[in-house]
Structure 1
Amino acid sequence: MNETLFRSATDVAGMIRRREISSRELTETLFARVEAVNPVLNAVVECRREETLREAALADEVTARRGQAGPLHGVPITIKDSFDVAGMHTTWGDPGAKDFVADSDATIVRRLKEAGAIIAGKTNVAFMLADFAQTANELYGVTNNPWDPSRTPGGSTGAGAAALSAGMTFLEYGSDLVGSIRIPASFCGVYGLKPSAGIVPLTGFGPPGVPSTLTESAYMSSLGPLGRYAADLRTALQVTAGPEAPTAYTWALPPSRRTRLADFRVGYVLDCPQAPVSSEVGALLSDAMDALAKNGATLVEGWPGGVDPVREAESFGFHVGLFFAYQQPGEEFAPLSQVIEQEHRRMTARATWIDYFTGIDVFLCPSNFTPAFPHDARPFDQRTIVTPEGERPYTDQPFWISHASLAGLPAVVAPIGRTPAGLPVGLQIVGPLYEDNTAITFAEVLADVVGGYERPPL
């Protein structure tokens, strides 16, 4: 097996620029990997092989003449099938959209291309992105987890996380409304970033034929990258974030507050009576805290003062409902007084977290109470998850991702190890608002003492 397939996107771009490997050679190797592995996982649903190889050859010509090369120069990547890519299908897993072909690129696709990346294919999604823990639809079928194909890779970016984990892409870009980046990253053993609210443009991210609504509800729906290494999250965010014209201005990712693990001030909560983690997840979380303490990080246990985690999780659910009410005008929803009350709760939560991060650099908590579980095709409200402590409702899963989402905070999921059954578990690293780099840097230094990407046994 070609070890280069499991290098970071950032490193591989450097290899191409230094002419240690050609983009075309790398791309051909990647497509061979897709052909070998994808039949097991069903993660990549569309490839643009000829166009990708042609673009890779052009990237090599630029390298040969020492032309200007971006941070992702010549690197083949995949993108979630909810972003427009000119000449490719955008279906959102809807059989009714199977013939729709985009005629322009989403903003993040254009920016990735400008950074030198080559879009090699698209990855599967949950139908209309409407599942946070499984990836399946009638058009393309079910996507499997690379650590155990009988289990889910998460949703709705589950196929992107599976493809990345299995070496079928170097970078994936996804979306996160109800943990749709973070839960798949945890289930597949890769890194995933939900950026600070509103810093990555949403243009070109939408169901085919559905007109834009009057509000993007950007504080709820975030677009962000997944990578096998935390540094790739930074590279991808640097080239995709920032406002669009006509309000565009020079944007830069603020530097991390700290660079050494021992200098970080770390808040954490590993469990909650209303959403208890399973024992197999809890053991790995506890081990991670022990490693941090041993390596000198300052640890402060407990929720921020003023944060009611149960109430905020309920408020998050309300705002998700409000998001969909915007997308489906005319549907009955809560009275205006309730909307105002819940908006007040959201802004109060944001202010509380902003104040908390004046004395704390990152906040750590679970990404889910469970590792990847077996596929479950039952109706949503009938699904359950078996844990060592008993069955749990399927809908318990969003509790841990809700707090960063409600307040619009950046959150990185980082792999911290595997359960006795060999399933990955991720730790959620919540950072200060607009300080995504602090969370990313913590994920990097965390990997030096615990966890990090491991190759699945495919």
Structure 2
Amino acid sequence: MPEIIGRSATALARGIRRGDLTPTEVVDAHLDRIDAVDDQVNAFVTINDDAHARAREATEAVEAGESLGPLHGVPVAIKDLSNTAGIRTTMGSALLAENVPEEDDIFVRRLKDAGAIVIGKTNTPEFGRLSTVTRNELFETARNPWDTAKTTGGSSGGSAAAVAAGMAPLAQGSDAAGSIRIPSAACGTFGLMPDFGRVPHGNDRPDAFVNTHPFTFLGPMARTVEDAALMLDVMAGPDDRDPFSRPAREGSYRGAVRDPVADLRVAYSPDLGICPLVDDVRGTVDGVVDELRGTVAAVDRVDPDLPDWEAAHQPLATLLQARYRGLYDSMKEEGVDILDRREEVTDEVVSRVEKSLELSAGDVRRAERQRTVVYDAVQDLLGDYDLLLSSTLSVPAFDVDSPPTEIDGEPVHPVHGFTLTWPFNLTGNPTASVPAGTVDGLPVGLQVTGRRGEDDTVLAASAACERLAPWDGVYPVDPR
């Protein structure tokens, strides 16, 4: 069998189309990889029992000369917050331990229609709760393939770990405060939070508007920028079930990876002025940005006019709290009262639900006004620049039981005090985390933020950074 594990999704799809590989070989190699290493990483919580059968059907389609989709035969992992028809979807909660949806989420159906084969569901905190550790009461804690004592980040930690450890070439994540970008930085993968509405949610009922508080995105996680762009080409596009889905764009995102960057004006703020950085992280990110100076029109150090950390973060905290009220009400309508079954739910989820019941309409409106200040600061800066670069995290991955509470003697919030991701969930700007190098053997991410609607610019710049600091092939051979 040709060497398969570690190949990009783009290379796998090309090999299948050419007949150099079969979908059966590709899927079975990744299932074998899961068997070999996932007991150390805990990236997957459910394996699709039909994956081999779907691969066999895909192989027969190639042999019959049928028309092939752009991801024909390529395995993809789906975060366990998203519905997959016939495959258990638990949301990391014992309340949904046996839940098997009858219908795919929109983007899952699009991936299948493009020929991708869902290989399994990936680990997430319960209900994707606010956490930079992918831990729940139903499954084992996800662990970083670079060092299994370390966190994967969250809440798409299982997806990032699956890609980093070679168990899946592509994975999907969702992001309400950094949940695609944080684990991508921690595990050394590329993660893209496309412009809000680019990938439709659609099946969120009874509340089709929930994903605006704060902006919650669906996006690709992959080994390379090109792979993520290929996946986005399939996932993106309007759907009337999502009131915020954006119109289709001309051209392909994969084509944008090769767009020129010579005319781009880039703003660089390593810490966004909101949290301290570990010196080695700052130095690693500085190094990539210094290299970028020779390929773009300008790179200027800037100080974004963001409010201080407390004032900027408060609207996020309030809006996330409001989401828990929505979760509570929705599940109660389905006959499940979280507070009546609190012994089956993590203490954090119970606490957040209880606090959400105390929120007033005035609290939410004040949060939206504070959010507007953050929004205006980011849009004003990007009125003068094409991109804003920063670190993704201010620290490398930490021990799963020891989130940082201070950096260089400065106290920080134990969840968001070391992340630079969440401001863009208040604004809706497309944002990616690109591998920038390592510190003490652990990955570091560079965050690339673009103007609203300009996913292609984010992809082009991310690809330019990837060329300056090549990462494909630097993935851990085996978890340790």
Q: Cα offset for 1:23?
A: 0.7
Q: Confirm or deny: 8 A CA contact 1:86 1:101 kept in the other structure.
A: yes
Cα displacement string for residues 60-113 of structure 1 (whole angstroms, at most 9, x for unaligned residues): 222223322111111011111111111111111112221111111111110110
Are positions 1:212 and 2:191 aligned together? no
Are positions 1:251 and 2:237 aligned together? no
The equivalent residue for 2:434 is 414
Q: Superposition pairs for residues 229-378 of structure 1, below 5 Å?
A: 229-245=224-240, 251-252=248-249, 256=256, 259-271=259-271, 274-304=274-304, 306-308=305-307, 310=309, 311-328=311-328, 331-376=356-401
Give the Cα separation in 2 of the matches to 1:37 and 1:365: 33
Judged with a 3 Å threshold, the aligned counterparts in structure 2 of structure 1 residues 141 and 6 are, in CA distance, closer, same or farther, namely: same
Describe the SS at the equivalent of 1:125: coil
Q: Superposition pairs for residues 35-434 of structure 1, below 5 Å?
A: 35-49=35-49, 51-204=50-203, 212-213=206-207, 215-218=209-212, 220-245=215-240, 251-252=248-249, 256=256, 259-271=259-271, 274-304=274-304, 306-308=305-307, 310=309, 311-328=311-328, 331-376=356-401, 384-385=404-405, 392-397=412-417, 399-419=419-439, 421-434=440-453
Residue segments in structure 1 that go unaligned for 5+ positions in a row: 206-210, 378-382
Judged with a 3 Å threshold, the aligned counterparts in structure 2 of structure 1 residues 61 and 125 are, in CA distance, closer, same or farther, namely: same
Describe the SS at the equivalent of 1:270: coil
The equivalent residue for 2:25 is 25
Q: Confirm or deny: 8 A CA contact 1:258 1:438 kept in the other structure.
A: no
Percent identity of the aligned residues?
31
Amino acid at match of 1:213: D
Residue segments in structure 2 that go unaligned for 5+ positions in a row: 330-353
Give the Cα separation in 2 of the matches to 1:342 and 1:45: 36
Give the Cα separation in 1 of the matches to 2:2 and 2:62: 22
Q: How many residues align?
A: 445
Cα displacement string for residues 325-356 of structure 1 (whole angstroms, at most 9, x for unaligned residues): 44345944454444334323434543553443
Moved over 4 A (4+): 246-250, 253-258, 385-392
Cα displacement string for residues 262-300 of structure 1 (whole angstroms, at most 9, x for unaligned residues): 332111101256410111211111111211124455102
Cα displacement string for residues 104-142 of structure 1 (whole angstroms, at most 9, x for unaligned residues): 111111011011101011111112211431111221111
Give the Cα separation in 2 of the matches to 1:384 and 1:352: 28
Q: Cα offset for 1:3?
A: 4.3
Q: Confirm or deny: 8 A CA contact 1:220 1:323 kept in the other structure.
A: no
Give the Cα separation in 1 of the matches to 2:257 and 2:47: 40
Amino acid at match of 2:365: I
Judged with a 3 Å threshold, the aligned counterparts in structure 2 of structure 1 residues 335 and 29 are, in CA distance, closer, same or farther, namely: closer
The Cα RMSD (Å) is 2.6
Give the Cα separation in 1 of the matches to 2:257 and 2:444: 26
Judged with a 3 Å threshold, the aligned counterparts in structure 2 of structure 1 residues 177 and 35 are, in CA distance, closer, same or farther, namely: same
Amino acid at match of 1:92: M
Cα displacement string for residues 167-223 of structure 1 (whole angstroms, at most 9, x for unaligned residues): 000100111112111110000000011121222222456xxxxx6336323352211
Judged with a 3 Å threshold, the aligned counterparts in structure 2 of structure 1 residues 335 and 391 are, in CA distance, closer, same or farther, namely: closer
Which stretch of structure 1 is more off in the superposition, 232-241 or 20-29? 232-241
Which stretch of structure 1 is more off in the superposition, 162-171 or 307-316? 307-316
